Structure 1
Amino acid sequence: MNEEIKLALIRVFPFVMILVGLFVATKRGKIDRAADLGLQKPSSMTHFFFWTFGFLSFILLIEFFLNKSGILEIDKWNHPFFSSIIRIVGAVILAPISEELIFRGLLLSKLSKKVNMHLAILIQACFFVLLHNFAYQNTLTSNIVIVQALIDATLFGYGRHYTKSIYTPITMHVTGNIIATLERFIF
């Protein structure tokens, strides 16, 4: 197997394992699909579209501003075709689904039972940032990305809270990751 494909598979493997683990735990009755994960239809499709398109507008404005100010640093995409497909599926589909189920599903559900919703959303957003590798690079770009990820995770949490569905933050997260991936091809 090609080294690039191995590296791509290693990057997506944890997300697959999270999804498998959550599936097994749900099937065994250890996790409730609706109460713990929010796997239910949004309470309002109007709110769902508000959060999704509002987030898309926010991301596009931020990326435009960062690009125009010259502080947006984007690494060009330089992976071969098959490893690119694996990486894109991982970044645009697997990572958002698994991360949302963990952070805005399980973690937010558990935290909101112990503290008020606003604090629960802030705590899960901090954990989200801490578990991403850019948080430890100490560059201007990584510091901007930390703030952006904290804001994104907070918005994902509120999207989940106000629509009562994990599908809202999943859609928001997928949207953000599509933009980030496209930027690597465009800029």
Structure 2
Amino acid sequence: MKLKLLIIGLLLSIAVQANQAKKMDKNNKETATLGSGCFWCTEAIFQELEGVEKVESGYMGGQTLNPTYKDICTGETGHAEVCQITFNPEVISFTDLLEVFWLVHNPTTLNRQGADVGTQYRSVIFYHSEEQKQIAENLIIELDKAGAWDDPIVTEVTAAEKFYKAENYHQNYFNQNKSQPYCSFVIKPKQEKFRKAFKNKLKK
């Protein structure tokens, strides 16, 4: 709870500095691309947020053209597993998305989330605008300065590149495979913790 309050306070401060409260068309859409370990976990979390219109699992940040999941699993393509999130900034801001991002994974473990190890599981924010870049970089500085975690944040902040949508069976994975062991023992507990922390941001 202390960490959540700290992050919320910093996010609100940075949002004001970045002039987040600008008028936008309600039909306007923005994109956020985030990597926080296995994309099955990331997708299951962000698709429940009010204002998020679409979440697609895929790959970004590597050198191999048209990579497959088999390629990614070697850890040699340079890609990260990510979720590309289409959201309505009139309902939920990029700052709100980062609030969730920071609290649903460990941004201090290099190329690892729990038992998932490899560069494909790195913590990364692929920004789509200078504003997104500034918000992310400022937040990392402030969180490290405040000692939000015992270890320094290793999250990458880098410009968005070509997004390769993952194979169809990866899309909406958790909802279609809830009895699968990874879903039951890894994703479900994380989802339940998220729902308690962000119940005011969930879709009705």
TM-score (norm 1): 0.29
* Higher radius of gyration, 1 or 2: 1
Question: If each structure's helix is expressed as a fraction of its own residues, which one has the higher value?
Answer: 1
Question: If each structure's strand is expressed as a fraction of its own residues, which one has the higher value?
Answer: 2
TM-score (norm 2): 0.27
